[in-house]
Amino acid sequence: MPQQQFGARGADPRPSRLWLAETTLRFVRQSQTAEVLNPALRPPNEMNRFSINAATETDVPLLLALIRELAEFEHLAHEVAVTAASLREALFGERPVATALLAVVDGRAVGYAVYYRTFSTFVGRAGVFLEDLYVQPAYRKRGLGRALLEEVAAVDAAAGGGRFEWIALRWNENAFRFYRSLGAKVMEEWALLRMNGKEVSNLVSAKVKVGA
């Protein structure tokens, strides 16, 4: 691909794709002395004129549009079921389950990241999972993707530096090169397992016989 592509989730859109072949990338940060950045607002970068801002409830329409752009890039637009109402509830409801950041250039949102907290029993500390990372094509290779990652990594460091993890499409070689350059490791021995709504419902209702 001619440009660096950012997409932190999804599956290979080819007919032969295997969901279980999605690769988990794990970035373990355990420094206890590093300065922790404030994820709520990063001052504008003077050279490239951008800032990283914490998304607010009024940003929901912008986030929704960017999520749909990411889905188009990943050839997964047909799987997008999120609505403005469900996104607002997830991010800004009574019990938020995730947090969003926006990359802003000259007052315009051109990228975003969505993350949530995790916990590792092996490490014994809280961590962070990066659900989405996306920068519009016209604004790539300007440091926005790295700046978004750094802000999420700062959240992980503030929590004790347990684990910082995300997944990437195997065919997205540019993204893999970028992530590896930051110190991320490909967890080849692990495979992502997934159940969608129908499968979860079947399991709960005992329509699937589980042998264990």
The pLDDT tens digits for 48-91 are: 589 999 999 999 999 999 999 999 998 889 999 999 999 999 99
Q: Where are the domains of the chain?
A: 19-204
Q: What share of the chain is helix, strand, coil (3-state, %, to 5)?
A: 30, 25, 45
Distance of CA 176 to the CA centre of its chain: 14
Residue 131: Cβ within 10 Å count = 18
Higher-scoring residue by pLDDT: 33, 15: 15
Q: Give the pLDDT band (50/70/90) at residue 203.
A: confident
Catalytic option among 112, 115, 134, 179: 179
CATH architecture of 19-204: 3-Layer(aba) Sandwich (3.40)
Q: Which contacts qualify for 46-51: CB closer than 8 Å, 24 or more apart?
A: 48/105, 48/142, 48/143, 48/144, 49/105, 49/106, 50/103, 50/104, 50/105, 50/110, 50/139, 50/142, 50/143, 50/144, 50/147, 51/103, 51/104
User: In this structure, what token pair is assigned to residue 142?
Assistant: 């300007």
Q: What is the pLDDT of residue 9?
A: 54
Per-residue pLDDT, 212: 54
Biggest alpha carbon–alpha carbon distance for the chain: 59
Taking the whole predicted model, whether its pTM rises above 0.85 is answered as no
The residue that leads in pLDDT, 159 or 28, is: 159
As a whole-number percent, the residues of the chain with pLDDT over 70 amount to: 75
Considering only residues 184 and 212, tell me which one the structure prediction assigns the higher pLDDT: 184
pLDDT digits (tens, 9 = 90+) for 100-147: 999 999 999 999 999 999 999 999 998 999 999 999 999 999 999 999
Reading the block at residue 161, the tokens are: 């530096």
The more confident residue out of 189 and 16 is 189
Q: Note if 179 is an active site residue.
A: yes
The reported pLDDT for the residue numbered 12 is 41
Cα gap 35→96, rounded to integer Å: 26
* DSSP tag of 180: H
Mean pLDDT, the chain, integer: 79
Looking at residue 17, its pLDDT comes to 33
Q: What does the DSSP 8-state code read for residue 123?
A: T
